[in-house]
Chain A
């Protein structure tokens, strides 16, 4: 079974600075998807960024980018120019693209605090 590990329960960053959140995963599959979701306090989970495993190029969405290292099974999220609104729980998630399973497997999350 696939597992996702987020080793940083909490992180903090100064406003306008850059922070990197770590995620590692375990799978025997060669093709899959990886996601970062953001869950603000008492608000719903929203997609931050998505990566297809067969693509070597790292995904980028405005201030958010990933460092995808397939061999190392690592998928870190970099937030540049951090803003107060970035404060939230961040979850890394894995989805198979094989075998018919469409479930997302989530890590335990990293709580990001942005200091003014």
Chain B
């Protein structure tokens, strides 16, 4: 069983559309994250969600909104997609925010055309 799974793996969409990426972890972790890896391979944290509190990175546009129906799921919804949103988005989880190890999903390659 995959520990952290994301769907879809690839997503091609037009500018202005709204899309969602789903993430599920079966590790029983309390903390989940969304990261963005751009074309230059920089991997930046977007959000972390600790089951009690959502920590928002202030550099993330408010078109991006995480939604967590339960602690095993953290979905990412993106409104009004822009060309610059094209990137690989990774979901991750850890036992707690202070855990030494985070487990990453396989990534979702989003292409906005």
Do these two chains really belong together in a complex? no
Residues on A lying within 8 angstroms of B by beta carbon are: none
Residues on B lying within 8 angstroms of A by beta carbon are: none
